[in-house]
């Protein structure tokens, strides 16, 4: 294997990081403090954004890194502040904030590029990488905070159990795919993007996701009543599992394009913050809009 590590060593490192993360998330959950939740979400979003821009810089790809980071940090903190101070009342307001932020990202990126000479496709690539980096990490991951304040839920952190359910279903998909693929994986899924992923791991991951999603719902039916019943729970578990796989592959596309193995080395066996939240960037918006529009 790469870096001279065996599968057992990689699994042990990933297990250690997973236990550490569970402790941090568990402590945040027990605190029942919305600032603790939103603070953790902000930290992960900003750290992942920094890692993404570092990978872009290391590959010498044209990008307006200073502007991109400024926008990403400002947007992340603004969303967190509005949610913390207004709760569910901020959700409608955030629609306008999103529109303004996306418009600003595009307009300002082109304006800043006017200072640079035209050298082939570099100006267009610089604008594209800047806008995409904002949309991919801080914008998509901001829905983690919004899930905490889904309307009609009560409590200091009304969507705490819902967020835990989302994280568990997403992460068990990753773990299930890895474990199942390591044990019985034979047929490569998309080798040109992620050589380690197999179809056996893919289907195994869906089974794990449905099992855990249903198990948590059976244990906490009142706290997770917003999911809308068993049909929605099963359907959402499958849907989020599929989005998890796509989210993981999306980051693989980025890392392969930028010739990077991991986004960082903060978490042994996992990588950096972006490696940790890549799938959540895809599953959080899907859960949020599903609950608003379907369930």
Per-residue pLDDT tens over the stretch 43-64: 999 999 999 999 999 999 999 9
Rounded mean pLDDT, 207-222: 96
In whole angstroms, what is the distance from residue 97 CA to residue 8 CA? 46
**Number of residues that make up the chain:** 295
Same domain? 54 vs 166: no
Give, for 194, the enclosing helix (H) or strand (E): strand 194-198
What range defines the domain where residue 37 resides?
A: 32-154
Cβ atoms of 251 and 263 within 8 Å: the answer is yes
3-state secondary structure of 271: strand
The per-residue pLDDT of the chain, averaged, comes to 90
In this prediction, residue 217 carries a pLDDT of: 97
Same domain? 147 vs 226: no
Please state the separation of Cα 89 from the chain's center in Å. 24
Task: Choose the final residue of a domain: 114, 131, 154.
Answer: 154
| Number of structural domains the chain divides into | 2
Please state the separation of Cα 161 from the chain's center in Å. 18
Q: Give 93's contacts (C-beta < 8 A, 6+ positions apart).
A: 82, 86
Residues 224-250: b if buried by 16+ CB within 10 A, e if exposed: bebbeeeebbebbbbbbbbbbbebbbb
3-state secondary structure of 118: coil
Percent over 90 (pLDDT), the chain: 68
Return the higher-pLDDT residue of 10 and 95: 95
Same domain? 234 vs 254: yes
Same domain? 44 vs 139: yes
Cβ atoms of 40 and 148 within 8 Å: the answer is no
Task: Choose the final residue of a domain: 98, 125, 154.
Answer: 154
Same domain? 126 vs 227: no
- Whether the predicted pLDDT of 270 surpasses 90: no
Note the pLDDT tens digit of each residue in 137-175. 999 999 999 999 986 667 768 899 999 999 999 999 988
The CA distances from residue 190 to 81, 169, 194, 260, in Å, are: 40, 22, 6, 18
């Amino acid at each position: 294997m790469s870096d001279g590590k065996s599968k057992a060593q990689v699994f042990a490192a990933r297990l250690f990081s997973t236990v550490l993360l569970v402790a941090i998330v568990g402590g945040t959950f027990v605190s029942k403090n919305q600032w603790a939740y939103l603070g953790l979400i902000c930290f992960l979003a900003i750290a992942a954004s920094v890692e993404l821009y570092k990978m872009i810089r290391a590959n010498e790809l044209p990008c307006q890194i200073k502007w991109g980071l400024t926008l990403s940090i400002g947007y992340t903190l603004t969303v967190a502040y509005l949610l913390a101070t207004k709760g569910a009342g901020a959700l409608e307001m955030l629609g306008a904030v999103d529109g303004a932020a996306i418009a600003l990202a595009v307009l300002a990126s082109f304006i800043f590029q006017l200072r640079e000479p035209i050298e082939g496709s570099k100006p267009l690539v610089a604008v594209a990488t800047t806008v995409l980096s904002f949309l991919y990490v801080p914008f998509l991951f901001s829905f983690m905070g919004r899930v905490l304040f889904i309307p009609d839920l009560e409590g200091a952190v009304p969507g705490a159990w819902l967020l835990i359910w989302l994280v568990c279903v997403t992460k068990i998909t990753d773990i299930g795919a890895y474990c199942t693929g390591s044990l019985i994986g034979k047929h490569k899924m998309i080798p040109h993007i992620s050589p380690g992923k197999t179809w056996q791991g893919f289907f195994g991951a869906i089974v794990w996701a449905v099992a855990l999603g249903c198990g948590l719902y059976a244990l906490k039916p009142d706290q997770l009543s917003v999911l809308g019943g068993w049909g929605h729970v099963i359907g959402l578990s499958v849907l989020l599992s599929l989005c998890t796989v796509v989210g993981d592959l999306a980051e693989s596309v980025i890392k392969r394009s930028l010739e990077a193995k991991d986004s960082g080395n903060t978490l042994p066996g996992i990588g950096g913050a972006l490696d940790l939240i890549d799938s959540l960037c895809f599953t959080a918006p899907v859960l949020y809009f599903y609950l608003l529009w379907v369930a």
